[in-house]
């Protein structure tokens, strides 16, 4: 009898952990990983079809960016939310005080940043433990994960693993690799850089594992097999991450000196949510990390509004600004004029694809009617 998907997954996981990784086994492990990723996706789909994972908290996105507070139970997520925002989330000295998503808004430098307080995450969350799936799906749709740790328990490898299993890639960029399906011609691999982690045979094997027989693979950076699998899986989300190390009031100087500067390699800010210490630094670094920029709009023939900027993601174009103002702006766009760092000279005329920079003043001219 065929083993169930879950059994197959377990067997492959076992084999991967028990195979020594070296040049000789690399290809085999690569194929196993691809198979594992594909089976997990299959298993997810079935669960979703049974209605097992379709549930979500259904929080409405608001503001210019969304930050999810993620951590083990009782680390102080709710206490922190209440300090950073206008929200009032219940605080308790027992685990799982918070059972729902509690949203709050932090206003900073003209930006409205939505912060989501969530139930604590535990091992097995991605498999559904402790309402884990619902929590993770709320985290997936955020722009940044603020990992909260207790100063005495800074090991978050379990949580990082759960986020990874749920398809989140923290502080990673989407791999610069494009896969295009074709009608015939087999699998053709083209890379513009030297590949040091995977060779052509392995790439082809992994791509085949995903059921492609004819496809062009264009690779423009030195990717790993995991990154190739991410591209094939297609449902990964790339989210920013940083750490707030909480309850530092409970530790003495000597202890604090020996605490690692960075937790799990992430930029870390030390705070005491209960005593409201470190809140200004945290707010500032969250804002910086989110890479938001301010654009001052200048209606044609009038003064620019220097009081209420439009807040948008770094790297945005004039077109993105249009989309933020009104849905009719893009279709009726004629041209824009820019004063500021992104322009070659004050009042330069620019098109819809022009990239804006923090502090730019922008006039957008649209067709009437
Ligand atoms: N000493 C100290 N205690 C804190 C601090 N922050 C939170 N606490 C306490 O830690 C306990 C848990 O705080 P919560 O904010 O409810 O923690 P949580 O992470 O939201 O917990 P769950 O919702 O159960 O996951 C409460 O008793 C808080 O008063 C802090 O900075 N210092
Ligand atoms: Mg809570």
Which of 71, 92, 115, 119 to probe ligand 1 with, by most ligand atoms within 8 A of CB? Answer: 92
Pair type for strands 65-70 and 111-117: parallel
Residue 110 lies in a domain: yes
In this structure, the answer to whether residues 156 and 88 fall within a common structural domain is yes
Q: And the tokens for 55?
A: 């549930």
**Residue 60 included in any domain:** no
Q: Is the CB of 95 under 6 A from ligand 1?
A: yes
Full domain range(s) for residue 282? 65-172+236-290
Nearest atom (ligand 1) to Cα of 272? 31
Residue 300 belongs to a domain: yes
What is the distance between the terminal CA atoms of the chain, rounded to a whole angstrom?
67
Q: Is 319 in the pocket of ligand 1 (CB under 6 A)?
A: no
The position carrying tokens 């297609």 is 234
Q: Residues 21, 161: one domain?
A: no
Boundary of a domain, candidates 233, 248, 278: 233
pLDDT of 81: 96
Ligand 1 neighbour 274 (Cβ under 6 A): yes
Q: Please tell me whether residues 215 and 337 are part of one structural domain.
A: no
Residue nearest to atom 27 of ligand 1 (CA): 93
What are the pLDDT digits (tens) for 270-288? 999 999 999 999 999 999 9
For residue 311, tell me if it sits in a domain: yes
CA distance 192 to 265: 30
Predicted confidence at residue 63, as pLDDT, reads 85
Rounded Cα distance, 162 and 113, in Å: 25
Which ligand 1 atom minimizes the distance to the CA of 69?
19
Beta-bridge mates of residue 263: 266
Among residues 233, 248, 265, the one where a domain terminates is: 233
Task: Confirm whether 58 is domain-assigned.
Answer: no
> Is any atom of ligand 1 closer than 6 Å to the C-beta of 130?
no
Domain check: are 69 and 168 in the same one? yes
- Residues 344, 313, single domain; the answer is yes
Q: Does residue 122 sit in the same domain as residue 254?
A: yes
Does the CB atom of residue 272 touch ligand 1 within 6 A? Answer: yes
253 and 341 in a single domain? The answer is no
255 lies in a domain? yes
273 lines ligand 1 (CB under 6 A): yes
Q: From the CB of 135, is ligand 1 less than 6 Å away? A: no
- Domain shared by 163 and 104, yes or no: yes
Q: Are residues 143 and 217 in the same domain?
A: no
CA of 101 to the centre of ligand 2 (A): 9
For a pocket test of ligand 1, which of 83, 87, 91, 153 has the largest count of ligand atoms closer than 8 A to its C-beta?
91
The yes-or-no verdict on residue 50 having pLDDT over 70 is no
C-alpha 138 – ligand 1 centre gap (Å): 21
For residue range 116-147, what is the model confidence (pLDDT) as tens digits?
999 888 888 887 777 788 888 889 989 999 99
Q: Would you state the pLDDT for residue 53?
A: 45
**Are residues 79 and 210 located together in one domain of the fold?**
no
Judgement on whether residues 166 and 273 belong to the same structural domain of the protein: yes
Read off the CATH number of the domain in which 115 is found.
3.40.50.300
Closest CA to 363 of 323, 316, 318: 318
* Number of folded domains that form the chain: 3
For residue 29, being part of any structural domain is answered with: yes
Give residue 250's pLDDT.
97
> Residue 136 phi/psi, 5° resolution?
-65, -35
Q: How far is the CA of 90 from the centre of ligand 1 (A)?
A: 10
| Helical axes 200-209 vs 23-49, angle rounded to 10° | 20
pLDDT in tens, 234-258: 889 999 999 999 999 999 999 999 9
Q: Are residues 92 and 149 in the same domain?
A: yes
Three-state DSSP string of the chain: CCCCHHHHHHHHHHHHHHCCCCHHHHHHHHHHHHHHHHHHHHHHHHHHHCCCCCCCCCCCCCCCEEEEEECCCCCCHHHHHHHHCCCCCCCCCCCCCCCCCEEEEEEECCEEEEEEECCCCCCCHHHCHHHHHHHHHHHHCCCEEEEEEECCECCCHHHHHHHHHCCEEECCCCCCEEEEECCCCCEEEEECCCCCCCCHHHHHHHHHHCCCCCEEEEECCCCCHHHHHHHHHCCCEEEEEEEEEECHHHCCHHHHHCCCCCECCECEEECECCCCECHHHHHHHHHHHHCEEEEEECCCCCCCCCCCCEEEECCCEHHHHHHHHCCCCCCCEEEEEEECCCCCCCCEEECCCCECCCCCEEEEEECCC
CA 79–ligand 1 middle distance (angstroms): 6
Q: Is 69 in the pocket of ligand 1 (CB under 6 A)?
A: no
What is the pLDDT confidence band of residue 1, given thresholds at 50, 70 and 90?
Answer: low
Last residue of a domain, one of 211, 233, 255: 233
Residue of 72, 74, 159 to test ligand 1 pocket, by largest number of atoms within 8 Å of CB? 74
Provide the pLDDT confidence category of residue 56 given band limits of 50, 70 and 90.
low
Q: Could you tell me if residue 90 is inside a domain?
A: yes
pTM comes to: 0.83
Q: Is the CB of 82 under 6 A from ligand 1?
A: no
Distance CA 192, CA 148 (A): 40
CATH number at residue 326: 3.10.20.30
On the question of pLDDT at 54 being above 50, the answer is: no
| Distance of CA 82 from the midpoint of ligand 1 (Å) | 11
Q: Is the CB of 83 under 6 A from ligand 1?
A: no
* pLDDT score recorded for residue 357: 95
């Amino acid at each position: 009898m065929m083993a169930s998907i879950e059994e197959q997954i377990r067997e492959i996981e076992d084999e991967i952990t028990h195979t020594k990784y070296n040049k000789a086994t690399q290809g085999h492990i690569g194929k196993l990983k691809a198979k594992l990723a594909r089976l997990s996706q299959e298993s997810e789909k079935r669960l979703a079809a049974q209605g097992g994972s379709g549930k979500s908290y259904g929080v409405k996105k608001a503001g210019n960016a969304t930050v999810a507070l993620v951590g083990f139970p009782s680390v102080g997520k709710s206490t922190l939310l209440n300090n950073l925002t206008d929200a009032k989330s219940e605080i308790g000295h027992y685990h799982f005080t918070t059972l729902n998503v509690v949203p709050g808004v932090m206003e900073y430098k003209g930006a409205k940043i939505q912060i989501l307080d969530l139930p604590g995450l535990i091992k097995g969350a991605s498999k559904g433990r402790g309402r884990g799936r619902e929590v993770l799906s709320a985290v997936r749709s955020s722009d940044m994960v603020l990992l909260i740790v207790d100063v005495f328990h800074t090991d978050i490898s379990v949580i990082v693993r759960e986020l990874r299993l749920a398809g989140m890639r923290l502080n990673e960029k989407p791999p610069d690799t494009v896969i295009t399906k074709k009608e015939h011609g087999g699998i053709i691999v083209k890379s513009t850089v030297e590949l040091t982690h995977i060779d052509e045979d392995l790439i082809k094997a992994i791509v085949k594992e995903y059921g492609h027989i004819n496809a062009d693979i264009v690779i423009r950076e030195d990717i790993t097999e995991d990154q190739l699998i991410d591209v094939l899986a297609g449902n990964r989300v790339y989210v920013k991450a940083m750490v707030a190390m909480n309850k530092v009031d409970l530790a003495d100087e000597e202890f604090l000196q020996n605490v690692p500067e960075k937790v799990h390699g992430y930029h870390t800010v030390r705070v005491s949510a209960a005593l409201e210490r470190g809140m200004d630094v945290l707010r500032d670094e969250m804002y910086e990390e989110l890479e938001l920029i301010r654009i001052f709009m200048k209606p044609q023939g009038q003064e620019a509004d220097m009081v209420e900027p439009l807040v948008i993601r770094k790297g945005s174009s004039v077109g993105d600004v249009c989309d933020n103002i009104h849905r009719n702006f893009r279709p009726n766009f004629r041209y824009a004029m820019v004063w500021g760092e992104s322009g070659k000279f004050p009042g330069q005329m620019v098109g819809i694809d022009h990239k804006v920079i923090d502090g730019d003043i922008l006039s957008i001219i649209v067709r009437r009617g």
